[in-house]
Structure 1
């Protein structure tokens, strides 16, 4: 057995607030002990036991509803909307870059956020559309196989094309959609320049549809948001209302000047103590602010040495407010094992993001 495993296991009795006790003894106390989840971790799916579904309480909606950007950020977002230009949002991890896009979509009632998470393998084509050529070929072979007829469904090429988040955002609509291009700095070096042409033209072509004969000039394809199929004419998509594009950047590399000059650039600064208190109030209510003060002080001290996200603060405040370790103010947990446990857990919840951080 490892040395660290012998110091507090087996001999220690489980604390009263434990749900998982590490004893190997089955029990069903979770229904009585587990409190309601934090507001930002309430999901909309109905459980299998038939409990009613609450579609107004999704984590995305809650984050969007309680997000409070600085006035300077609001000003620049409005400028980008007026100018029909993409927004390039820079800031440290956890300051709310992605949540800003969700807030815009939620507040303006522009439908579900279209989300394109970029990685090192992402390409412009992936963001625009995907064509399942192998699936179409397999179904064609199945149609031609001996046996009962399978119909001529393969004539509908649109069944094998699904628009990506960028391609869906550029569909011609009277109102714009909100597109989040998340962490563009993780993508290929050529991707920003590839995006420039699409953003400047507000259009793109699907070659597989452009080559079809005149009698197939209109094709219905699937969209990234799983809504009704969209009609593409002669393989060409031209937007009507330019989407509100929010591009996040963690500052890992520089972008080409031609790309930067076509974006409205927003730099989100880390929240100060007053802004953090406002976030706690919006997420957890007025009664949480007083209990959050010592946690906020510890959070700010840690942030001065390492990257640490605002949602870590909310997790720590929620746990401190839960009462499982005594009074939220700490009076009942000032002595004994509960005080030490509380300290260890808060320290762990506020651990720095950097993997090498030993704290």
Structure 2
């Protein structure tokens, strides 16, 4: 491994992130005070059995290992494109597990997602109700007399930009589903590594301390935000995934390290099956061959193959029934010009 590499792709957790080379001068950040990394169990959703399994069984390619390390060293987002089922989102969990980065912060993108959704959520109506007599804040407030922080929670992107002393892992999933403005809106935040919360900036004018205790994404433990400004210390490991359904602006692309995942070949598929289900027997090897043949005329996802191998194995079927069931479990997601589909 090159001396600047900290991610190996071998799955075994280690503390190599502490050996990460210093950032380029134009990507150095100085947010503070430094926050310790969260514990693995701080966010119960992020350590669900599904996500833990995906992180432990991910099979990295040499190209993905190299470009993950490039993104870490350059303190740049990693834009991962590829067909569905090629492990784009699993990569974020695998890197976070190996490098002990704590629970993965996940932002699922839809056509209605805005930059504000990723940074923080503020509920002015709940604040209004709480301010009424008997609403729970008659005794005064911790932030300028109005308790704004009690109605505000950082989003996954906002949490990733807190001044942790080691990078957090952030997965921005299916960015190509967003409206046209979101990639450009992300540019400044990802370039500067900081943002402001206007509600807290205004409240800080009336507070001597100017510090608000705000809940972070995925936890009920508050963190201190000074004068409404959040600035990172260690730039987060940001994975942006795309199914390749749209083009992104050049200004956005040049700020990302780009990784294109391709459909795995037989050798990689065999390793994937081995990681999930153990060494493939002759029947599993036959299904791998069928999967590869079918993938020539239509789009398939790797988890369809895993489902077919698992279910045909536990069902105890004869060869003919097994082939029929496997075919039903591997319908095309889309069909090429020469394919028939279902």
TM-score by length of 2: 0.80
Pick from 97, 122, 126: which aligns with 1:135?
Answer: 126
Larger radius of gyration: 1
Report the equivalent of 1:249: 242
Shift of residue 158, structure 1, vs aligned partner? 1.1
Pick from 54, 57, 69: which aligns with 2:60?
Answer: 69
CA distance in 2, matches of 1:157, 1:187: 29
Residues paired across the two proteins, number: 290
> Do the aligned partners of 1:351 and 1:357 also contact (CA within 8 Å) in 2?
no
Shift of residue 126, structure 1, vs aligned partner? 0.6
Shift of residue 354, structure 1, vs aligned partner? 3.2
SS in 1 for 2:258: strand
> Do the aligned partners of 2:131 and 2:137 also contact (CA within 8 Å) in 1?
no
> Do the aligned partners of 2:130 and 2:137 also contact (CA within 8 Å) in 1?
no
> Do the aligned partners of 1:143 and 1:151 also contact (CA within 8 Å) in 2?
no
CA distance in 2, matches of 1:206, 1:294: 56
Pairing of 1:19-98 with structure 2 (within 5 A): 58-98=49-89
Report the equivalent of 2:288: 296
Shift of residue 155, structure 1, vs aligned partner? 3.4
Q: CA RMSD in A?
A: 2.3
Cα deviation digits, residues 96-128 of structure 1 (max 9, x gap): 000001111111111110000111100001100
Report the equivalent of 1:351: 331
Which structure 1 residue ranges, 5 or more long, are not aligned? 1-43, 45-54, 327-332
SS in 1 for 2:298: coil
CA distance in 1, matches of 2:257, 2:192: 17
Report the equivalent of 2:157: 166
Cα deviation digits, residues 17-68 of structure 1 (max 9, x gap): xxxxxxxxxxxxxxxxxxxxxxxxxxx9xxxxxxxxxx98811111111101
Matched, 1:202 2:193: yes
CA distance in 2, matches of 1:206, 1:71: 40
CA distance in 1, matches of 2:47, 2:228: 37
Pick from 179, 184, 189: which aligns with 1:188?
Answer: 179
> Do the aligned partners of 1:280 and 1:289 also contact (CA within 8 Å) in 2?
no
Instruction: Classify 1:150/1:210 alpha carbon distance in 2 versus 1 (closer, same or farther; 3 Å).
Output: closer
Shift of residue 141, structure 1, vs aligned partner? 2.2
CA distance in 2, matches of 1:293, 1:149: 65
